[in-house]
Amino acid sequence: MAIKQLLALAGRSRGSRAASSLSRTTVRSASTSPAVASSAPAPAPPPPDAMVYDRLAEAVKSKLRQLENPDPRFLRYASPHPAIADHTRILAAPQTRVTTLPNGLRIATESNLAARTATVGVWIDAGSRFETDDTNGTAHFLEHMIFKGTEKRTARQLEEEIENMGGHLNAYTSREQTTYYAKVLDKDVNNALDILADILQNSKFDENRINRERDVILREMEEVEGQTEEVIFDHLHATAFQYSPLGRTILGPAQNIKTITKEHLQDYIKTHYTAPRMVIAASGAVKHEDVVEQVKKLFTKLSADPTTASQLAAKEPAIFTGSEVRIIDDDIPLAQFAVAFSGASWTDPDSIALMVMQAMLGSWNKNAGGGKHMGSELGQRVAINEIAESMMAFNTNYKDTGLFGVYAVAKPDCLDDLAYAIMYETTKLAHRVSEADVTRARNQLKSSLLLHIDGTSPVAEDIGRQLLTYGRRIPFAELFARIDAVDASTVKRVANRFIYDRDIAIAAMGPIQGLPDYNWFRRRTYWNRY
């Protein structure tokens, strides 16, 4: 009897404990907010022995789940589901007219007679890629020296003439192109063409000026070395295109700058500044016939050598090499690195798809704020988890190759998570792509292309660059049609061509001890799916 009473008491005590715990659970559920109570139940957490990346993925998913029901005030004026943007009204762009002279020199203009200013310039299919190891830096040195006086104008007269017109004369050198351009009022277009013709055909290259300019360029090199983004991309080219001209820097080594002579500059002009490799582009308040007549009068000393830049590039092709360069510097507070795949050339049919993929990966900067509601899933991962200071996808095209990848800046203790996020989202383009993401990226790309040509100088640059790379200027109607033809299946196909199980190039600098090794990155260019 005593035993039965004890068992009964134990059963009642167990039942009361269960009932009390149930009541506590009920109270907790009742105290939750309606929004949480109505949402789907949270998934079970990963087991304790799960990989750290599984736990990280679950944490990100839970944060994203909280963002799926945003405040309706944010959605009042915009749909969360992107629609194809209609740019028909904006596509009524002025015609680009092109005239080719008997010596091969091309003249291209886009007239906007409502404008009061104009930009005229000379785009040359020559840059640091067409130098040798001994002459590397000549193209950039020449850009400096070409404003230092001609047979007709001293350096002072040249500067005063531009200042008196209220104009702006500038130049820049890249790996494959060199540009000299002037932005002036409509009444000074002929004067600007005269100055450009004079400096390109009659520069004196005084020895004293050359020696003085060496110090200027060496100081410029010191400034560039302080710009870590420039340094990272120089190292990225050097490791990606080893033993080829495309891997050299634009400024060249200091030893070359100290030894470049007048003969080097004159030989470079004679070899590369030829009429078939030059385009004279003008936009704004210009008339095509007037520009053509002026060019015929002024540009009379150019060589008609038919050798093209593509033929020169074919002699020393740029071969992509999977490799890495790491510079550990603990004095720098932030780590920076770039991960790149071999990309497409200018004329590759898949170059447009890579531009859309770049827009899908996007960019993000901590100082700009936002990011948690970005279209880019990589931007969302970085912003929600705060694992980077900034990140940027890039797509660089050359005559026969390119670079496609992501550049990022982060604190040393975030490198592992950031590297995982970058490789996961990049490789995912070959496996899982939604049409909504592609549509959003297409709209962003088209808008950015139109915003980029706001002004006479960007339009002239667009004309000159496209004539050198494509041989013609692609109308925006055609370009946008090509962009709209990119869909999710295209992105997957192109990602399988350029990303899936492909070699990569890595350049890293700063406190990068926590950055995973090359094999870690290489293994994450593919997914094993069973």
347: its two tokens: 């004329």
Rounded Cα distance, 388 and 283, in Å? 41
Q: Give the span between the Cα atoms of 90 and 86, in whole angstroms.
A: 9
Neighbours of 298 (CB within 10 A): 18
Q: Which two tokens stand for residue 459?
A: 């339009």
Question: Which DSSP category does 81 fall into?
Answer: S
d(CA 95, CA 98): 10
> 85: helix, coil or strand?
coil
H or E element at residue 17: helix 2-31
CB 342 within 8 A of CB 401: yes
CB distance 362 to 393 below 8 Å: yes
Q: Which residues pair with 339 in a beta bridge?
A: 406, 506
Q: What is the DSSP string of 340-363?
A: EEE---TT-TTHHHHHHHHHHH-E
Catalytic residue among 143, 324, 389, 461: 143
Q: How far apart, in Å, are the Cα atoms of 22 and each of 18, 25, 29, 33, 42?
A: 6, 5, 11, 19, 20
Neighbour tally for 275: CB within 10 Å: 19
Residue whose C-alpha is closest to residue 390's, from 374, 375, 406: 406
Among the options 213, 324, 389, 425, which is catalytic?
213
Distances (CA, A) of 193 to 119, 120, 198, 393: 10, 7, 8, 38
Angle, alpha carbons 218-224-226 (nearest 5°): 115
Q: Residue 57 in contact with residue 417, Cβ under 8 Å? A: no
229 among known catalytic residues: no
Give 3-state DSSP helix, strand, coil % of the chain, rounded to 5. Answer: 50, 15, 35
Contact 232, 338 (CB under 8 A): yes
Q: Is 68 exposed, middle or buried (0-12, 13-18, 19+ CB in 10 A)?
A: exposed
- For the question of residue 213 being annotated catalytic, the response is yes
Distance (Å, whole) CA 388 – CA 366: 8
| Dihedral sign of CA atoms 105, 109, 115, 121 in order | negative
CB 111 within 8 Å of CB 288: yes
Q: Read off φ and ψ for residue 60, nearest 5 degrees.
A: -65, -40
Contact 252, 137 (CB under 8 A): yes
| DSSP letter, residue 303 | B
What are the catalytic residues? 143, 213
